[in-house]
Amino acid sequence: MNQWDAPHSARPPSLVLMALARLIANVRRTAAARCWAALVVAVLTGTARGGDDLCCHGGPGCVDLWVINTRGVPCCGDFPAALDRLAISHCEPGGWARYTRQQFLTATDSSLPVCFYVHGIFSEERLALKQARELFGNVGAGLPPFRGVLWKWPSEFECGVSVRDQVERSNAATQSQAFYMASIIADLGPRVPVSLVGHSLGCRTVVATLQGLASREIAGQPLAEPVSAAARPIQAVLVAPAIEPFSLWPGGQYGSALSQVERMLITYNPGDRVLRTYEHFFDRRPLGLRGLPQPAVAAGGFEKVTQFNANPAVGKRHVPSAYFDSPAVAAWMRGYVGRVQGSGFRVQGSGFQHD
């Protein structure tokens, strides 16, 4: 395995300044433009700074950190043929090392749990790594050993392209990302428990992956048969999810997703400034704003779901660090990131709750 100089060695110009400069120069001065400016600032402000110690070199609290980068794989066409083009790297004492897909599967072929983190939009690689370290380090503190995998998808802010178009393009890429993730999960050893954590638009990939594992196909392309027919223990966390609530309802776009999980945690926040702007401009009520609607809950099928109002802990913020750095949120998420010895999958908050 060759040592790999991680692509986060150089810090890029501030995405906030890039976004603001482009908006000031090119967007018409309308109320809509001002709201979009607020959206960009809210998404990026306070999150464009990458951490300096992103590769853990051993010692207490060190997480076995992996990165699967999908930048070099297509978002349309023959997905199965592109699986071996996934860029996989592992944080090791000498730095970052490149792995093939088969080497990754061999290295993770044990009973050690694997937690995948799917970041939201406008997260360049250094920032996404920082988020992953916060999740695995803060939320995972005190848990038995587990592997943390950052699922890095192309989501960097692009100057000259409207925020609306970038959001829609990210939504369109969900199917390809879900195919690749579902394929990786299906190929893991049969004893490997899996946790999926998504933030904002990254939650689309999480639920689409679960839907694909249930239907055994994504975007009309069949998934390979799993290495074992036994049911795999999977748990999921949707942090400030930018998905439609009714998409999880039976018959919805992701109506079979819950069939694949032991349990699911959903955070919502009525004060989230970014999701409120998202709702206004896309005319879509995001799940992360008010949680699951009561008609859906009353219809049944949501016994595996726990949701809670994160507003007292994070205020109006949307950024993942607000969640991962919060002791209150970390307490809710901890049992979903890794398995808690002696308690199976049941920890605080099991069963449906709504504050």
For residue 199, the SS3 value is strand
The burial of 341, by beta-carbon neighbours within 10 Å (0-12 exposed, 13-18 middle, 19 or more buried), is given as exposed
Rounded Cα–Cα distance for residues 261 and 232 (Å)? 9
Mean pLDDT for the chain overall: 79
pLDDT in tens, 104-141: 999 988 888 999 999 988 778 888 999 999 999 999 88
Q: What percent of the chain has pLDDT above 70?
A: 71
Residues 4, 117, 327: CA angle, nearest 5 degrees: 115
Rounded Cα–Cα distance for residues 140 and 146 (Å)? 9
Where are the strands (E) in 27-79, listed by range? Answer: 64-69
Distance of CA 339 to the CA centre of its chain: 18
Element (H, E) at 186: helix 174-187
Does the global pTM surpass 0.85?
Answer: no
Element (H, E) at 335: helix 327-337
Which range has the top average pLDDT, 5-14, 304-313, 330-339, 344-353? 304-313
pLDDT surpasses 90 at 299: no
pLDDT of residue 140: 87
Domains and CATH numbers, the chain: 3-337 (3.40.50)
- 352 or 40, higher pLDDT: 40
Distance of CA 349 to the CA centre of its chain: 21
Q: Cα-flanking dihedrals φ and ψ of residue 337, to 5°?
A: -80, -40
Q: Which residue has the tokens 């592992």?
A: 90
pLDDT of residue 158: 58
Q: Residue 336 in contact with residue 197, Cβ under 8 Å?
A: yes
Return the bridge partners of 194, or none: 114, 234
29 pLDDT tier (thresholds 50, 70, 90): very low
Q: Cα-flanking dihedrals φ and ψ of residue 89, to 5°?
A: -135, 155
